[in-house]
Amino acid sequence: MILGLDISTSITGFAIIDKNDNIISNGAWDFRNKRYFPTLMTKAQKMRDALLTIKSEYQIEQVYIEKSLQSFRSGFSSAKTLSILSSFNGIVSWLCYDIYGTEPIYVAAPSARRICGLKIPKGQKAKEVVIQHLIATEPAFEIEYTRNGNPKPHCYDMADSIIIAKAGYICEQNSKS
């Protein structure tokens, strides 16, 4: 089975794909509550516990992780935010290696979408296109909406983790042939 992770210090999405490309499990861990997760280490402890729970329930053979942002973009993350995200990505990567005994493979979000055959039309938001694609093609993808009819924030992370896991599945299949 493949574990796909969309790592963030606010919400981390996960997806587990079986050997037939079926979504076995999909969810997200929410770290936004500063009372319960005041530091990076408390978030890391939660991730450790969650990854151990997954290990007890599933036979994970490979882990694919969305590659963290490596550069600045105007109007997006600051240097401090990128540094914290990179640190957390490294911690979770090490946890995956330690728990599952395999080095994670990193895939950039645009590459994962391309591998999965998703094209993002100009002017459209990639996350919205991914959500709509999964609603149309994956019956196992469950989405929750706000009272205003918008997807809840964790649904975007869940969707991204599915794309990462499915890209991993495709890469694994291509390497076998």
pLDDT tens-digit series, residues 47-68:
999 999 999 999 999 999 998 7
Q: What is the pLDDT of residue 6?
A: 95
Confidence of residue 42 (pLDDT cuts 50, 70, 90): very high
Number of domains in the chain: 1
Q: What is the pLDDT of residue 80?
A: 72
Query: What domain range is 24 assigned to?
Result: 2-176
Q: What is the DSSP secondary-structure string of 129-175?
A: HHHHHHHHH-TT----B-TTSPBPHHHHHHHHHHHHHHHHHHHHHHH
pLDDT at residue 45 is higher than 50: yes
- Determine the Cα–Cα distance for residues 116 and 57; give it in Å rounded to an integer: 27
pLDDT at residue 72 is higher than 80: no
Q: What is the pLDDT of residues 12-35, one digit of tens each?
A: 999 999 999 999 999 999 999 888
Q: What is the pLDDT of residue 160?
A: 95
Average pLDDT in the 73-77 region?
51
- Whole-number average pLDDT of the chain: 90
111 SS3 class: helix
What's the CATH code of the domain at 130?
3.30.420.10
Residue bearing the bigger pLDDT, 111 or 140 = 111
Laid out side by side, the sheet with 11-17 consists of 23-30, 11-17, 2-6, 62-66, 105-107
pLDDT at residue 46 is higher than 90: yes
Average pLDDT in the 82-109 region?
91
Ramachandran quadrant class, 101 (left: phi over 0; alpha: psi -120 to 50; beta: rest): left
- State both tokens at 53: 């729970």
